[in-house]
Amino acid sequence: MTRRRLAVLISGRGSNLQAIADACKNGKIPDCDVTGVISSRPDAPGLDWSRKQGIFARSLSHRDFSGREQFDSALALAIDRLEPDWIALAGFMRQLTPGFVEHYLGRLVNIHPSLLPSFPGLHTHRHAIEAGVCWHGATVHFVTAELDAGPIIAQGVLPVAPDDSADSLAQKVLALEHRLYPEALSWLVTGQVTFRENHSHWTYPPPLSRTGPMINPEVRIP
Ligand code: GRF
């Protein structure tokens, strides 16, 4: 079988990228390889990590372009050179133009560190603490033109402890993201979920993992 090709877009640390690449290597995302990484920042630690793994990695800075459209055109060229089946945004800190999103509709996914539609945008963990929510988590979704609002593929949820700070919550959510994103990508590359008429469409009966689309970590109730 032809192996599927995944491009990952990052801007920094790249811990989700690592979780995805590991899941490809150990078969949790079946018959799939991360065939290229593009960073919007030249100093992103995820670039070095990728190169050390032998994964093609390059940066493309918006500073080298006169506007959003120009940057997104260059980005699309760079992505298309990788000939990916899917494109995963993993901490990619750029808002994409509607034309770019349309070009990759159904093949472009993102992970966002909140239970969307709550807390789109930045500083999600701080906002969750301030709002006093009992549950927080992460969402993998198809990317559409509206920021952090595309059809949901998977969500992971965890309880907010009374003594949680934005930082402690961020750490817990990040660990959850590292399980959630590979799992959601495995559903995508195996065709268990597709983008159809602006919704996530599931094949039925859904041959999902036993945890289903909601990944609940072990919740200990005292
Ligand atoms: C993650 O929390 C992701 O959800 C958000 O940015 C962070 C990226 O972390 N969009 P990393 O670069 O994958 O470590």
Average pLDDT over residues 30-51: 98
Residue 204 banded pLDDT, cuts 50, 70, 90: low
CB-CB contact of 112 with 138 (8 Å) = yes
pLDDT given for residue 203 in this prediction: 78
pLDDT given for residue 222 in this prediction: 43
Tell me the catalytic residues.
112
- Residue 66 zone, left/alpha/beta (φ > 0; ψ -120 to 50; rest): alpha
Q: Residue 216: pLDDT above 90?
A: no
Closest C-alpha to 143, from 94, 62, 65, 88: 88
Q: Which atom of ligand 1 is nearest to the CA of 112?
A: 4
Element holding 46 (H helix, E strand): helix 45-52
Q: Residue 218: pLDDT above 80?
A: no
CB-CB contact of 44 with 11 (8 Å) = yes
Please, which residues have CB within 8 angstroms of residue 175's CB and are 6 or more apart in sequence? Answer: none
Please, which residues have CB within 8 angstroms of residue 7's CB and are 6 or more apart in sequence? Answer: 34, 35, 36, 37, 38, 79, 82, 84, 86, 87, 88
Q: How far is the CA of 93 from the centre of ligand 1 (A)?
A: 9
Q: Which of 89, 94, 111, 181 to mutate to test the pocket of ligand 1 (most atoms within 8 A of CB)?
A: 111
Average pLDDT over residues 38-56: 98
Find out whether the beta carbon of 15 lies less than 6 Å from any atom of ligand 1.
yes
Largest CA distance in the chain: 56
Q: What is the pLDDT of residues 138-166, one digit of tens each?
A: 999 999 999 999 999 989 999 999 999 99
Average pLDDT over residues 41-50: 98
Q: Which atom of ligand 1 is nearest to the CA of 170?
A: 2
CA–CA dist 117, 90 (Å, integer): 18
Q: Residue 213 has which token pair?
A: 């689309």
CA–CA dist 220, 222 (Å, integer): 6
pLDDT given for residue 1 in this prediction: 74
Residue 207 banded pLDDT, cuts 50, 70, 90: low
Closest C-alpha to 179, from 45, 44, 23: 23
CA–CA dist 160, 175 (Å, integer): 14
Find out whether the beta carbon of 14 lies less than 6 Å from any atom of ligand 1.
yes
Q: Residue 211: pLDDT above 90?
A: no
Cβ–Cβ contacts within 10 Å for residue 76, how many? 17
- Residue 95 zone, left/alpha/beta (φ > 0; ψ -120 to 50; rest): beta
Instruction: Find the length of the chain.
Output: 222
Q: How far is the CA of 106 from the centre of ligand 1 (A)?
A: 21
Average pLDDT over residues 169-174: 96
Burial class (CB in 10 A: 0-12, 13-18, 19+), 63: exposed
Residue 87 banded pLDDT, cuts 50, 70, 90: very high
Average pLDDT over residues 112-126: 98
Residue 202 banded pLDDT, cuts 50, 70, 90: confident
Burial class (CB in 10 A: 0-12, 13-18, 19+), 167: exposed
Q: What is the pLDDT of residues 99-118, one digit of tens each?
A: 999 999 999 999 999 999 99
Query: At 221, which amino acid appears?
Result: I
Q: What is the mean pLDDT of the chain?
A: 92
